[in-house]
Amino acid sequence: MQYISTRDGRSPAERRSFDDILLAGLAPDGGLYVPESWPQLSPETLRGKPYAEIAYAVTEPFIGDALAPDEWRRIIDDAYRPFTHKDVAPLRELSKGLYLLELFHGPTLAFKDYALQLIGPLFDHVLAKRRDRVTIIGATSGDTGSAAIEACRDRAAIDLFMLYPRGRISEVQRRQMTTVPAANVHAISIEGSFDDCQDLVKEMFADAPFRRDFHLSAVNSINWARIMAQIVYYVAAAVALGAPERKIAFAVPTGNFGNVYAAHAARCMGLPIEQLIVATNRNDILARFFNQGSMALGPVEPTLSPSMDIQVSSNFERLYFELTGRSGAATAAAFKQFRASGTLPATPAQWQKARELFSAYRVDDALTKATIAAIYQNSKLLIDPHSAVALAAAQAARRDPAVPMVAVATAHPAKFPEAIQAACGIAPEIPPRLANLQALPERLVSLDNDLGAIEGFIRAHARLGARR
């Protein structure tokens, strides 16, 4: 499989292999990498198979010859072994035809583990083969940070720097990042929003000498490997519910558009997805686009579901590229305009096409709390606020009650005890993996929203770079 940039698309010289795009993260022209074509699934062959086997079948065509088949197989088997549920990504039926897909059984209790536990060893493997090293930089709205730190800690060929918006993530999320004692990982709080953090990361990537000296790389969902790994649980869930004979619907709580784009990718690979609901919180730029046709930036507002407090959804560019008929030139022009004016241009035909592919629903904090309280009343089950956004949207925007609807549960309730307490007066039970967190010392680093300050910190702490 070869990959192209969403801002290039045409010139054959720019085609890249899997290991190249894994290490690069973002394309040099500022675009995101996408596969040149969609491999097609055979869901009927996956029925009853363990998660790791489904993961291998789904990802193998994307990897190409970057790894030997038995090496890749071993990495996958090892990656999902520490997950605490035997099904890895189990389905829970809430009522007839309505399900939760539980994606919080990994080491840091959010769905980000499902991709990052795979990507850490994948980086190691590819870097060892190339005798290379990288500096991974990223922005986190809360859960990517801890999942990436957990996946990369103490890896000899990786230094990791994670920017997070100060005071805008939950205390559990912060402690999961700042209490890890590994010398190669650094969590840095920035005075600003998630979008500010993400902008800083993009600016570092645009700083060509810095990018070159530090071999910058990314594990945010701009990295195609993240999306690839996330396709797997959509396939596993659909097959468990009767695909390919039966169609299926998903409601996905959305911030950076990565997770719901992975569901779309599964559909492009032939998974019979009847409806795909983009569920947003009050930061509803995506819901406004799908429902009203214009994508205009607003301020980022804090909500009960902080991992979705985002306005600029990076992965939307991958969808936009398709809406333009894979025109790199049109995509590049549109995203330049978005950056300059805060409004993304879309023709009526592009909007129409987008609406055929996605439904969208906005869930405010009141409805989020009411959903947490209702599900607790009905089934004595606690769900986290992000999962509640998905569930509320699933119930409100569902088109066909005959099609099984799966709300994607992206985090464990214990990551957001304050929100759960506010919704139903109950404190979620603390799972063993979080039990120690309060007692561990934190390593706190705070920097201004300033490119020079952050590059300076990385220069001083990365093991790669100008000193070599």
Ligand X SMILES: *Cc1c(COP(=O)(O)O)cnc(C)c1O
Provide, rounded to whole angstroms, the least separation between the CB of residue 109 and ligand X: 9
Asked if residue 395 binds ligand X (CB under 6 A), the reply is no
Binds ligand X (CB under 6 A): choice among 106, 138, 145, 258 = 258
221 touches ligand X by CB under 6 A: yes
Taking the C-alpha atoms of residue 320 and residue 357, their distance in angstroms, rounded to an integer, is 12
Beta strand ranges found along 329-388 (DSSP E) = 343-344, 359-362
* Residues 134-153 interacting with ligand X (rule: CB under 6 A): 142-143
Nearest distance, CB of residue 169 and ligand X, angstroms: 10
Pairing, β 343-344 against β 295-296:
antiparallel
Task: Please give the residues from 439 up to 468 whose contact with ligand X meets the rule CB under 6 A.
Answer: none
> DSSP label at 401?
T
Pairing state of beta strands 216-217 and 158-165?
A: unpaired
Other CB atoms within 10 A of residue 436 CB: 11
Minimum distance of ligand X from residue 309's CB (angstroms): 10
Among 176, 178, 198, 259, binds ligand X (CB under 6 A): 259
Q: Does 284 bind ligand X (CB under 6 A)?
A: no
Our finding on whether 386 is near ligand X (CB under 6 A) is yes
| Residue (of 371, 28, 64, 354) closest to 208 by Cα position | 28
- Minimum separation from the CB atom of position 256 to ligand X (A): 3
Q: How far is CA 446 from CA 149, 177, 192, 221, 289, in A?
A: 17, 13, 11, 24, 35
174-188 burial string, b = 16+ CB within 10 Å, else e? bbbbbbbeeebbbbb
The span from the CA of 214 to the CA of 208, in Å, is 10
Print burial letters for 213-227: b (CB count within 10 Å at least 16), e (below 16).
Answer: bbbbbbbbbbbbbbb
How far apart are CB 227 and ligand X at their closest, in Å? 9
Q: Interface with ligand X by CB under 6 A: which range of 80-88, 161-169, 256-264, 347-355?
A: 256-264
Three-class DSSP category at 3: strand
198 vs 327 by CB, closer to ligand X? 198
Report DSSP state, residue 14.
G
Stretch that binds ligand X, among 113-121, 238-246, 255-263, 453-461 (CB under 6 A): 255-263
Neighbours of 154 (CB within 10 A): 11
State which residue, 112 or 369, has the beta carbon closest to ligand X.
112
Q: Contacting ligand X (CB under 6 A), which of 253, 413, 417, 428?
A: 253
Of the residues 49, 86, 96, 112, only one is catalytic, namely 112
Question: Which residue, 179 or 256, is less far from ligand X as judged by CB?
Answer: 256
- Comparing CB distances to ligand X, the nearer of 66 and 408 is 408
- Residue 255 in the binding site for ligand X (CB under 6 A): yes
> Which one of the spans 84-92, 148-156, 253-261, 348-356 is the region binding ligand X (CB under 6 A)?
253-261
- Tell me the per-residue interface mask from 3 to 42 with ligand X, x by CB under 6 A, - otherwise: ----------------------------------------
The reply on whether position 256 binds ligand X by CB under 6 A is: yes
Total residues contacting ligand X (rule CB under 6 A)? 17
Q: Which long-range contacts (CB under 8 A, 24 or more apart) does 200-209 make?
A: 200/139, 200/163, 200/449, 200/451, 200/454, 201/137, 201/138, 201/139, 201/163, 202/26, 202/30, 203/451, 204/137, 204/451, 204/454, 204/455, 204/458, 205/25, 205/26, 205/30, 205/137, 206/30, 207/451, 207/455
307 binds ligand X (CB under 6 A): yes
Nearer to ligand X, 117 or 327 (CB): 117
CB of 319 to ligand X, least distance (A): 12
Question: Binding to ligand X by residue 335, rule CB under 6 A?
Answer: no
Closest CA to 320 of 308, 333, 307, 301: 333
Q: Would residue 112 show up in a list of annotated catalytic residues for this protein?
A: yes
- Kindly compute the dihedral angle of the four CA atoms of residues 367, 104, 143, 182, in this order, to the nearest 10 degrees: 160
Stretch that binds ligand X, among 174-182, 250-258, 323-331, 436-444 (CB under 6 A): 250-258
The least CB distance from residue 385 to ligand X, in Å, is: 8
Among 34, 110, 268, 406, binds ligand X (CB under 6 A): 110
Establish if 170 lies at the interface with ligand X (CB under 6 A). Answer: no
Sign of the CA dihedral with 105 first, then 109, 114, and 117 last: negative
296 exposed, middle or buried (CB, 10 Å; 0-12, 13-18, 19+)? middle
The whole-angstrom separation of Cα 244 and Cα 42 is 8
> For ligand X, which residue of 179, 254, 281, 368 counts as binding (CB under 6 A)?
254
What is the nearest approach in angstroms of ligand X to the Cβ of residue 395?
A: 18
Single out the segment in contact with ligand X by CB under 6 A; choices: 46-54, 131-139, 198-206, 247-255. 247-255
Q: Between 102 and 143, whose beta carbon lies closer to ligand X?
A: 143
Checking phi first, is residue 362 left (phi over 0); if not, alpha (psi -120 to 50) or beta? Answer: beta
219 vs 464, which CB is nearer to ligand X? 219
Q: Could you list the residues that contact ligand X (CB under 6 A)?
A: 110, 112, 142-143, 221, 253-259, 307-308, 386, 410-411
Among all residues, which ones are annotated catalytic? 112
